[in-house]
Amino acid sequence: MGFTFKKQRHTVDEYVQGILNKDRVMLSKAITLVESQLHSDNDLAGAVIERILPYSGKSLRIGITGVPGAGKSTFIEAFGKYLSSQNKRIAVLTIDPSSQKTGGSILGDKTRMEELANDPNAFVRPSASGATLGGVHSKTRETMLLCEASGYDIIIIETVGVGQSETSVKGIVDFFLLLMLAGAGDELQGIKRGIMEMADAIVVNKADGDNIKRSKLAQKELQHALHMFPPNESGWYPSVLTCSAINHTGIKEIWELICEFEGMMKVKGFFKSNRQEQNLQWMHDTINYHLRNDFYSNQEVKSSLSFLEQQVETEKIPAIVAAKKLLSMFFNKRQLGE
């Protein structure tokens, strides 16, 4: 006779106490809970987030992105190890909007940052990404709050994909760092102007060996390019630094620059106002996320969607007409309480 063991559910109190006691296992379980798609788990996760909210918000949130091959994982490991040596606790969350399609490609980051992942002062976790941008926002923000409540001083959010992920990460961090490579002007290619405008600092990585001279040249070119952008309303002028993550040179200077930024933004009031704006955006993103989920999970919408998509594809009806039909089905059902 076989036995079926039912997975034991933790209570809200157990999750909260574990997180506040800096229990890494319970923190991981709480993150898995907020990533769950089950309605029962969502209710429990919401209760946990509400309870830990007063203990969050004290961390410095840093977003890191970069061109392909810039060495983000190597840089984050070197940066994280430096912060750990300064008695800082660091949580690294990785966002990859394409992970659902690629079958979990983000899991490779934990193995690439093996030394940091084994550091007692660090916590490395691939961050869940939803099928929508709202999913990325919601789950990553909740994960970040859990890490903050568990006493992590610095939250590093790394984007793996290139595109919308940069915009989404900029909207949840205090400081946004762009990693580049030397290439005598090539570093300006393939990187959108908007991403450079979002950066609070640019770092030219791999400034070592025969690459030092080219890195210095890239630094000057990028600094010149930044001067062509309109000034930030906060009065902060983004700097371009060089570093070698492998040789651990330039890491200290990057941290000092980030600390200077934090101090300046707090004195001028921009640090708090930025967080307030981000919280409002989170509310609207969450509304959009749940409305979209409810819409596509509606049975009548699901049964008619394929047919109407085919009608639109074959140009038998306009897209706007099909959309209005689906929305009418959805809202009529809701009005009827079904």
pLDDT digits 0-9 by tens, 51-87:
999 999 999 999 998 877 888 999 999 999 999 999 9
pLDDT-derived band of residue 93, with 50, 70 and 90 as boundaries?
Answer: very high
Report the C-alpha gap between 2 and 103 in whole angstroms. Answer: 32
pLDDT score at 106: 45
CB 329 within 8 A of CB 294: no
Domain locations in the chain as residue ranges: 1-55, 57-267, 298-335
- CB burial of 298-328 (b: ≥16 within 10 Å; e: otherwise) equals beebeebbeebeebbeeeeeeeeebeeebee
pLDDT score at 110: 54
Q: Which residues are bridge partners to 239 per DSSP? A: 201
CA-wise closest residue to 111 among 129, 94, 89: 94
Longest Cα–Cα distance in the chain: 74
Per-residue pLDDT of 179-233, as tens digits, reads: 998 874 444 545 666 778 889 999 999 999 999 999 999 999 899 888 888 878 8
111: buried, middle or exposed (CB in 10 Å: 19+, 13-18, 0-12)? exposed
236: buried, middle or exposed (CB in 10 Å: 19+, 13-18, 0-12)? middle
pLDDT score at 1: 46
Q: Is the pLDDT of residue 275 over 60?
A: yes
Q: Are strands 239-242 and 90-95 parallel, antiparallel or unpaired?
A: unpaired
Q: Which residues are bridge partners to 126 per DSSP? A: 94
CB 128 within 8 A of CB 100: no
pLDDT-derived band of residue 165, with 50, 70 and 90 as boundaries?
Answer: low
pLDDT-derived band of residue 42, with 50, 70 and 90 as boundaries?
Answer: confident
pLDDT score at 263: 97
pLDDT score at 161: 56
pLDDT-derived band of residue 138, with 50, 70 and 90 as boundaries?
Answer: low
pLDDT score at 126: 80
Report the C-alpha gap between 202 and 70 in whole angstroms. Answer: 12
Strand, helix or coil for residue 229: coil
- Compute φ and ψ for 184, nearest 5 degrees: 50, 50
Higher pLDDT, 135 or 249: 249
Report the C-alpha gap between 54 and 175 in whole angstroms. Answer: 22
pLDDT score at 305: 95
Strand ranges in the chain using DSSP code E only, listed in sequence order:
60-66, 90-95, 122-127, 154-159, 175-180, 201-204, 239-242
Cα-Cα end-to-end distance for the chain: 42
Report the C-alpha gap between 136 and 168 in whole angstroms. Answer: 7
pLDDT score at 205: 95
pLDDT score at 184: 40
pLDDT score at 104: 45
Q: Which fold has domain 1-55?
A: 1.20.5
Give, for 93, the enclosing helix (H) or strand (E): strand 90-95
Report the C-alpha gap between 206 and 305 in whole angstroms. Answer: 50
Q: Whole-model pTM?
A: 0.86
CA 208 to chain centre: 29
Q: Which fold has domain 57-267?
A: Rossmann fold (3.40.50)
Per-residue pLDDT of 287-329, as tens digits, reads: 888 899 889 999 999 999 999 999 999 999 999 999 999 999 9
- Average pLDDT of every residue of the chain: 85
